[in-house]
Structure 1
Amino acid sequence: MTAPPDARAERFVRELAELKIPDPAAARATLWLRLGGLLMAAGLVLGALAFPFAHATDNSLAQGDALAIGLGGIAAAVVGGALFLRYSLTGFLRFWLARQSYDLDRLGERLTPPAPAPAPQGEPRHAVTPHPGPAPR
């Protein structure tokens, strides 16, 4: 019978903690994740602010500047979105891979029969007597 899901989840978390594998780039990944979110938000704000600036004047030079700011904001939002997506998926996929490894290990333990007990000393294994010499021709 299988263990209840709560016990399996607790055992999984406990065994994962026992591995004690530090992530050397955890702080860097968090920095890139936050930077991606910040770039995405700043790009959206710049893009939204550029529209009224471009329409507030009849001067084509000022409108060109506002359009350049707007396009820069859109580019920043796209790059920030890509960074945010990449680093947020990294954390999820790392956990998913650890979970798959754990589940496959448990499946292997269930499907593999237990090892046979060693034969006592002095007795041939599997009740087969060794052949004294080469086979007759």
Structure 2
Amino acid sequence: MTSVPVPASRADRFVRELAELKIPDPAAARSTLWLRLGGLLMTAGLVLSGLAFPLAHATDSSLAQGDALALGLGGIAATVVGGALFLRYSLTNFLRFWLARQSFELDRLGERFGDRAGAVQTVPPVSEGGSRNGAAPTPR
């Protein structure tokens, strides 16, 4: 018995061709590094700000309180920057997945409806007189 091969979808062919290339994605490691750095910076900033509060209240010296306040503001800044990095790279990973899914769904719809989904309606060109049907323009 001979089996008839089933034609692969575009998504299957794309995945197979990517696997055949065996090229690692250098941006994936960099994205993970920035994501982890953002999470670490956000956590370290929260801890630093939390430690600065008791330091500022533990002394009557205005110089020590000023140092603790500066440390606390630095922690808040690190938290904001870390949160922005974490949010940016988290959304990048999510939107990359979303885009791949949308592409796959569009491909699947194209296979389901055939050429009708990809058909483009053409509009007849406008003649010199300004009419689409080729008739002479009416005088004003």
Same-fold call, TM cutoff 0.5? yes
Structure 2: runs of 5+ lacking an equivalent: 1-8, 117-140
The 5 Å alignment of 1:35-46 reads 35-46=37-48
State the identity %. 76
**How far off its partner does 1:97 sit?**
0.2
Number of equivalences: 104
TM-score computed with the length of structure 1 as normaliser: 0.68
Q: Distance in 1 between matches of 2:28 and 2:34?
A: 10
Structure 2 equivalent of residue 109 of structure 1:
111
RMSD (Å), alpha carbons: 2.3
Deviation readout 1:40-77 (Å, 9 max, x if unpaired): 00000000000000000000010000000000000000
TM-score computed with the length of structure 2 as normaliser: 0.67
What amino acid sits opposite 1:47 in the alignment?
S
Structure 1 equivalent of residue 61 of structure 2:
59
Structure 1: runs of 5+ lacking an equivalent: 1-10, 115-137
Distance 1:13 1:22, change over 3 A: farther
**How far off its partner does 1:12 sit?**
9.7
Q: Distance in 2 between matches of 1:12 and 1:113?
A: 15
Q: Rg: which structure is higher?
A: 1
Q: Distance in 1 between matches of 2:104 and 2:34?
A: 29
Structure 2 equivalent of residue 81 of structure 1:
83
* Local SS of the residue matching 2:26: coil
**How far off its partner does 1:88 sit?**
1.1
Distance 1:13 1:42, change over 3 A: farther
